């Protein structure tokens, strides 16, 4: 035991000395490298850390002017320009890197690919889609292939080139392609909608089958299947298609409610369709579903029945939008001498509920008065559940 302790006492100073030497070498290396960098480079970093991007850019421009061989500094500068929306300046920075000749430090192959990718992102941000597409096509089959594919998918979505977008998504590596199944299904739905518009029912059905193969929970494909069946005169098939939405995602039932009711009317089964809507409303409360059921009940059984429907729903799920609908129903059944008073109260409530009657994107929070399959702000698919803002606020 004593021998071991003596051995450690002898070894510890040796280990300490070796560590000191290694640290000294590292520090000297860092000092040598830092001295080689322009002082304005460190000023730029300081401004960035203090969240002063304008002054940081000025400092980085000065550093790049003093030392044009600092490649990574040019990348940082171009990225800052793009984030600020100064895409023309970002393009010039990255073009200079791509076109750099032997008079300056030669770029490695990876740096050149990086510069090309950044230039493509600049063009994409600037809306120069044809130039961005050309750049990212050049990056195919390189180390930046996956990055190029994702950018090309975005370009083709903006250009509404859905078939090309599908081809790019299918070309993604195995570890990434499954992440795009929802989007691929939506691309198929876009193609199906176009086919239906031109009267090509068979082609539309083929696209919808592929959409559901990619994503069996694609409600939009099921909605379009029903519309295709109606166009073919098969009301029963349309009704069955739309009823499947309850198993796919019941929150989307409100999108099919009016279609279901109309199909039942055309089939001479209006009361059966209304009963179906009542059941959906009880199991899956929704303000949009309530609105459709209210109108259907009023047309089928009169204002008093519609009033009772809304009253029962408001008791189960109290909301301002539900109260607005209840007041609308009360105006219909009220005696003439009370209607003016009720109209006044309803108008006050209605003006207040406008701000909670919008749809909201789950991804970016953008609000809109109408439902979208793709968010107009962030471009994400299926992030707009057909629920009003008030329903989000009431959700635990």
Q: What is the pLDDT of residues 350-382, one digit of tens each?
A: 776 666 678 888 899 888 888 899 999 999 999
Q: How do the domains of the chain map onto residue ranges?
A: 18-172, 180-214, 286-336
Tell me, what's the pLDDT at 80? 76
**Average pLDDT, integer, range 124-148:** 94
321: confidence class by pLDDT, cuts 50, 70, 90: confident
Stated pTM of the model: 0.75
**Model confidence over 78-127: pLDDT tens digits?**
787 788 888 888 888 788 778 765 544 567 888 889 989 999 999 999 99
Rounded CA-CA distance 151/357 in Å is: 35
pLDDT in tens, 158-198: 999 999 999 999 998 876 656 789 999 999 999 999 999 99
Q: What is the mean pLDDT of residues 267-279?
A: 94
Residue 8 pLDDT more than 90? no
Distances (CA, A) of 312 to 94, 305, 325: 64, 11, 12
pLDDT at residue number 109: 85
Question: How much is the average pLDDT of 245-260?
Answer: 95
Q: What is the pLDDT of residue 327?
A: 73
Residue 72: predicted pLDDT: 75
- Please, what CATH class does the domain formed by 18-172 belong to? mainly alpha
Binding-site positions read 361, 364, 375, 378
Q: How high is the mean pLDDT of the chain?
A: 80
What is the per-residue pLDDT for 106?
67
Q: Of 183, 153, 366, 395, which is closest to residue 384 (Cα–Cα)?
A: 366
DSSP of 256-288, one letter per residue? HHHHHHHHHHHTT-HHHHHHHHHHHHHHS--HH
What is the model's pLDDT at position 175?
62
- Binding-site sequence positions for Fe cation: 361, 364, 375, 378
**C-alpha 188, offset from chain centre:** 17
**Cβ within 8 Å of residue 380, ≥6 positions away:** 361, 363, 364, 374
**Closest by CA position to 46, among listed 70, 67, 63, 68:** 63
With a cut of 70, say whether residue 347 has pLDDT above it: yes
Section 254-270 average pLDDT: 95
Q: CB 208: neighbour CB atoms within 10 A?
A: 28
């Amino acid at each position: 035991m004593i021998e071991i302790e003596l051995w450690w006492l002898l070894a510890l100073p040796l280990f300490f000395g070796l560590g000191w030497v290694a640290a000294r070498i590292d520090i000297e290396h860092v000092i040598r490298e830092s001295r080689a960098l322009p002082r304005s480079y460190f000023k730029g970093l300081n401004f960035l850390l203090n969240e002063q991007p304008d002054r940081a850019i000025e400092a980085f421009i000065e550093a790049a002017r003093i030392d044009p061989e600092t490649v990574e500094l040019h990348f940082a500068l171009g990225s800052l320009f793009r984030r600020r929306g100064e895409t023309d300046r970002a393009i010039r920075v990255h073009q200079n890197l791509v076109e750099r000749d032997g008079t300056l430090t030669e770029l490695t192959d990876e740096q050149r690919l990086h510069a090309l990718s950044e230039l493509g992102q600049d063009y994409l941000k600037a809306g120069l889609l044809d130039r961005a597409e050309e750049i990212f096509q050049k990056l195919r089959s390189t180390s930046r292939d996956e990055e190029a594919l994702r950018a090309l998918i975005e370009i083709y979505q903006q250009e509404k080139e859905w078939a090309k977008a599908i081809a790019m998504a299918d070309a993604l590596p195995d570890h990434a392609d499954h992440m795009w199944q929802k989007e691929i299904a939506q691309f198929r739905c876009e193609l199906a909608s176009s086919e239906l518009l031109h009267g090509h029912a068979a082609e539309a059905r083929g696209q919808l089958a592929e959409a559901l193969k990619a994503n069996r929970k694609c409600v939009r494909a099921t909605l379009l299947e029903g519309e295709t069946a109606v166009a073919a005169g098969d009301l029963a098939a349309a009704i069955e298609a739309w009823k499947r939405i309850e198993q796919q995602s019941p929150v989307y039932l409100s999108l099919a409610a009016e279609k279901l009711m109309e199909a039942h009317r055309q089939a001479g089964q209006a009361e059966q369709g209304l009963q179906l809507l009542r059941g959906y409303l009880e199991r899956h409360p929704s303000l949009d579903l309530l609105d459709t059921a209210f109108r259907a009940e009023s047309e089928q059984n009169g204002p008093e029945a519609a009033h009772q429907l809304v009253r029962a729903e408001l008791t189960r799920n109290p909301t301002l939008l539900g109260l607005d609908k209840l007041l609308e129903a009360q105006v219909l059944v009220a005696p003439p001498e009370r209607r003016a008073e009720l109209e006044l109260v309803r108008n006050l409530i209605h003006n207040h509920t406008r701000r909670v009657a919008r749809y909201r994107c789950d991804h970016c929070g953008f609000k809109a008065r109408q439902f979208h399959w793709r968010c107009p702000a962030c471009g994400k698919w299926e992030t707009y559940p057909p629920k009003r803002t008030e329903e989000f606020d009431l959700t635990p």
